């Protein structure tokens, strides 16, 4: 791997030649370097691609038109491999106007094989190939030019070592008959809607949103949507418009005017002068909304009627299934999924809640048995010889 040729691409002619070589590859490993500290959208600084034993490090700062390589990324005949693909795909989607399909996310694949739900790339490389990747350039300024040899090598490693990781995970997925699981898990990554977020959903990302309810949550929704649009228009981080804490404080007020805003920490006079009227208009719209239009918040679940005990039983079942399937329990069923099921399980009336563990491969592996456990069709008991919990049909346990 250390002898892999690395070509730095910073002219249109080099890019066209590299793209012609890439077009002959069946699989390409892809990564990007970017900064997002002072902007709303990622500042694209570097594109790394590896295929057929060659690595290209492409400079999007010098080359303004990357059309030849975007054609490669959008070519459906070439598989694109990423690790933790979400932000890399966002850049490609914004720059190329499409999604790099088909794709393979090694972080998602690793989670399906028991490596942990969000395993880091360096950790995964070390566990699969025994190679320890250097970390010295983790906080480098990728927009600075010229790049040093260490920076180039560090950037190239992210795609050179991605290939053996991909090959290993692909073989294991096929052997375990979990390839379809990966396709299901990547549906969100492969959807254009993922990279065209709805302003109306921005309030879910406000820290502390769950402390509001009803009309005040509707106010927060209006204000967060305004902040999202304003930050996008100015290409600045959301917090530079207004931070979460003062936004939340504005939304919980029963009365809001300029004088009230002046007494809230984290809101300066310049912001109030420029945007105060717009904020008040958002607050007014939220307060005037009818109850039917308020964001729905799942009610806090009571601990009565044995809900906590059911939750423990469900969690035990998930852990047994995770151990049996050599997979992380957290990817099988989240705590919120299990809480919803435990609450529904008090009477098991009506349809079960809409939770991820009751769909697709998760339903086959654990969801069906979670429902059966709640309905009393199966039970958990201790094996008298091993002392370990086991799953049995209720009649057999009797």
Query: pLDDT tens digits, residue range 103-127?
Result: 999 999 999 999 988 899 999 999 9
Residues 6+ apart with CB under 8 A from 356: 333, 334, 337, 362
Whole-model pTM: value is 0.85
The verdict on residue 378 lying in a domain is yes
- CA separation for the pair 66, 10 (Å, rounded): 10
Q: What does the pLDDT read at residue 303?
A: 41
Are 17 and 70 in a shared domain? yes
Strand partners, 79: 27
Q: What is the residue range of 120's domain?
A: 6-195
Tally of structural domains, the chain: 3
The verdict on residue 69 lying in a domain is yes
The verdict on residue 28 lying in a domain is yes
Query: pLDDT tens digits, residue range 271-328?
Result: 999 999 999 999 999 999 999 999 976 543 444 456 888 999 999 999 999 999 989 8
The verdict on residue 302 lying in a domain is no
Q: What does the pLDDT read at residue 3?
A: 79
- CA separation for the pair 85, 186 (Å, rounded): 10
Residue that terminates a domain, selected from 268, 293, 318? 293
Query: pLDDT tens digits, residue range 190-221?
Result: 999 999 878 999 999 999 998 999 999 999 99
Question: Does pLDDT of 88 surpass 70?
Answer: yes
Q: What does the pLDDT read at residue 398?
A: 45
| CATH code, domain carrying 323 | 1.10.150.80
Instruction: Answer positive or negative: Cα dihedral of 76, 85, 189, 127.
Output: positive
Residues 6+ apart with CB under 8 A from 141: 35
Does the N-terminal peptide bond of residue 102 adopt cis geometry, omega within 30 degrees of 0?
yes
Tell me the pLDDT band of 394, cut-offs 50, 70 and 90: low
Q: What does the pLDDT read at residue 302?
A: 42
Are 118 and 155 in a shared domain? yes
Q: What does the pLDDT read at residue 381?
A: 80
Q: What does the pLDDT read at residue 347?
A: 78
């Amino acid at each position: 791997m250390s002898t892999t040729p690395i070509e730095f691409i910073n002219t249109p002619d080099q890019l066209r030649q590299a793209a012609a070589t890439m077009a002959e590859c069946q699989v390409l490993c892809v990564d990007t370097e970017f900064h997002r500290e002072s902007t709303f959208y990622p500042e694209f600084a570097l594109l790394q691609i590896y295929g057929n034993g060659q690595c290209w490090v492409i400079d999007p700062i010098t080359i303004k038109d990357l059309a030849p390589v975007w054609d490669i990324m959008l070519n459906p005949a070439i598989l694109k491999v990423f690790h933790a693909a979400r932000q890399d795909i966002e850049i490609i989607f914004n720059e190329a106007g499409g999604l790099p399909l088909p794709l393979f996310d090694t972080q998602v694949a690793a989670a399906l094989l028991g490596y942990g739900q969000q395993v880091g790339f360096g950790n995964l490389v070390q566990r699969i190939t025994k190679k320890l990747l250097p970390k010295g350039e983790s906080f480098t300024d990728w927009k600075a030019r010229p790049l040093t040899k260490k920076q180039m090598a560090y950037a190239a490693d992210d795609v050179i070592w991605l290939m053996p990781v991909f090959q290993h995970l692909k073989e294991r997925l096929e052997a375990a008959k979990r390839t379809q699981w990966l396709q299901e898990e990547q549906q969100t990554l492969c959807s254009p809607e993922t990279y065209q977020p709805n302003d109306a959903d921005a309030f879910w990302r406000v820290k502390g949103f769950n402390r509001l309810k009803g009309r005040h949550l509707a106010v927060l929704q209006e204000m967060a949507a305004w902040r999202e649009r304003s930050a996008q228009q100015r290409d600045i981080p959301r917090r530079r418009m207004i931070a979460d804490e003062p936004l939340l404080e504005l939304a919980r007020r029963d009365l809001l005017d300029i004088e009230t805003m002046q007494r809230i920490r984290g809101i300066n006079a310049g912001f109030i002068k420029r945007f105060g009227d717009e904020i008040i208009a958002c607050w007014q719209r939220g307060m005037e909304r009818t109850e039917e239009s308020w964001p729905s918040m799942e009610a806090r679940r009571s601990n009565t009627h044995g809900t906590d005990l059911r939750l423990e039983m469900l969690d035990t079942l998930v852990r047994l299934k995770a151990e049996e399937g050599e997979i992380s329990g957290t990817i099988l069923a989240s705590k919120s999924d299990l809480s919803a099921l435990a609450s529904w399980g008090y009477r098991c009336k009506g349809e079960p809640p809409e939770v991820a563990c009751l769909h697709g491969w998760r339903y086959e592996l654990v969801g069906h048995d979670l429902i059966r456990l709640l309905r009393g069709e199966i039970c958990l008991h201790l094996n008298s010889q091993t002392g370990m919990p086991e799953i049995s049909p209720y009649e057999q346990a009797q």
